């Protein structure tokens, strides 16, 4: 097997060559949450398909572009479209862009997703700051050979989401009168939504929201020593008394509606970094 380090470096070199100056802030945009891109003063963009070794995005609602520009007065890069385990990518592919970002000099990673809410206080359209996660994917992205250059064999996961950035987000929310929830994100492989018993189980074990992404990227970002900030947009609610049937269309519609709040929180936290 080809050395992963060489692959990361080759991809990073291509991006650096195509774009020039590299940012210290990276953003991964989730399903239906691409509107943040309209707030970026874009200086460069690259289609995933033209980047060597980058997987190509397939799912609806993900256009697959790397975007460079200014947001909240800071130079950032954003992934419009991410790679999901349920699409058939392996964990190394799902997390490859995070490793490339790290190689390019990204130190702070913002991640967003659409998620189903189990917390009984939540409503559709709420924005939840991720305070912690529970990894229920069938594989850890760090399984296999460890490259000490990328991070330790047994990384601590004590503060997977930066307490400093959560505090900053709370300050923004308080100042701007934004209803900002806190919660634990449960990461599952999908592509099925949960059964009523599964939503209930996730709630009992400490989950507030559930989704099919984010956890692999956040594990790799922690391995790489990056500071992480995560937000979930609650697009549907699940539990044993909830009869509404979630669909991809409904998730997208709810995400589109709630995304101005998410965009505002992320932009404002970035501006205060
Ligand atoms: N479950 C899993 N993933 C999701 C959900 C959900 O209810 N909503 C949006 N993504």
> Is the beta carbon of 212 within 6 A of some atom in ligand 1?
yes
Ligand 1 centroid to Cα of residue 156, in Å, is 27
2-35 per-position pLDDT tens digit: 689 999 999 999 999 999 999 999 999 987 788 8
> Is the beta carbon of 67 within 6 A of some atom in ligand 1?
no
Q: Using DSSP, state whether 144 is helix, strand or coil.
A: coil
DSSP 102: H
Ligand 1 centroid to Cα of residue 233, in Å, is 10
Give the separation between CA 7 and CA 267, rounded to whole angstroms: 32
Please give the pLDDT value at position 63.
57
Q: How many CA atoms lie within 13 A of 83 on its CB side?
A: 21
Dig out the tokens for 110 from the structure: 């913002």
224-265 per-position pLDDT tens digit: 999 999 999 999 999 988 888 888 888 888 888 888 999 999
Give the separation between CA 69 and CA 111, rounded to whole angstroms: 17
> Is the beta carbon of 30 within 6 A of some atom in ligand 1?
no
Rounded mean pLDDT, 43-57: 87
Residue 61 confidence (pLDDT) above 50: no
Assess contact for 212 and 194: CB atoms under 8 A. Answer: no
66-82 per-position pLDDT tens digit: 999 999 999 999 999 88
Number of CB atoms found within 10 A of residue 89's CB: 19
Ligand 1 centroid to Cα of residue 87, in Å, is 15
95-123 per-position pLDDT tens digit: 999 999 999 999 999 999 999 999 999 99
pTM summary value = 0.95
DSSP 81: S
Atom 6 (ligand 1): residue with closest C-alpha? 116
Dig out the tokens for 13 from the structure: 């070199």
Dihedral of alpha carbons 155, 157, 159, 161, sign:
positive
Ligand 1 centroid to Cα of residue 114, in Å, is 7
């Amino acid at each position: 097997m080809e050395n992963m380090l060489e692959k990361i470096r080759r991809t990073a070199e291509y991006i650096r060559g195509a774009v020039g100056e590299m940012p210290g802030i990276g953003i991964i945009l989730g399903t239906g949450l691409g509107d943040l891109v309209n707030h970026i003063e874009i200086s460069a963009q690259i289609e995933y398909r033209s980047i060597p070794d980058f997987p190509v995005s397939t799912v609806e609602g993900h256009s697959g572009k790397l975007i460079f520009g200014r947001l909240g007065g800071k130079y950032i890069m954003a992934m419009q479209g991410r790679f999901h385990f349920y699409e058939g990518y392996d964990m190394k592919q799902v997390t490859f862009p995070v490793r490339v970002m790290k190689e390019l000099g990204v130190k702070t990673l913002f991640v967003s997703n659409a998620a189903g809410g189990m917390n009984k206080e939540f409503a559709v359209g709420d924005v939840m700051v991720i305070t912690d996660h529970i990894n229920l994917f069938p594989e850890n992205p760090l399984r296999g050979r460890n490259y000490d250059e990328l991070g330790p064999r047994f990384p601590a996961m004590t503060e997977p989401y930066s307490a400093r950035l959560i505090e900053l987000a709370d300050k923004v929310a308080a100042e701007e009168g934004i209803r900002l929830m806190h919660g634990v994100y449960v990461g599952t492989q999908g592509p099925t939504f949960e059964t009523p018993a599964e939503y209930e189980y996730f709630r009992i074990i400490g989950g507030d929201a559930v989704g099919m992404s984010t956890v692999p990227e956040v594990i790799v970002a922690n391995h790489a020593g990056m500071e992480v900030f995560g937000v979930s947009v609650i697009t549907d609610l699940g539990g044993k008394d909830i009869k509404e049937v979630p669909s991809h269309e409904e998730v997208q519609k709810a995400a589109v509606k709630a995304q101005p709040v998410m965009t505002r929180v992320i932009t404002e936290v970035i501006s205060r970094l």
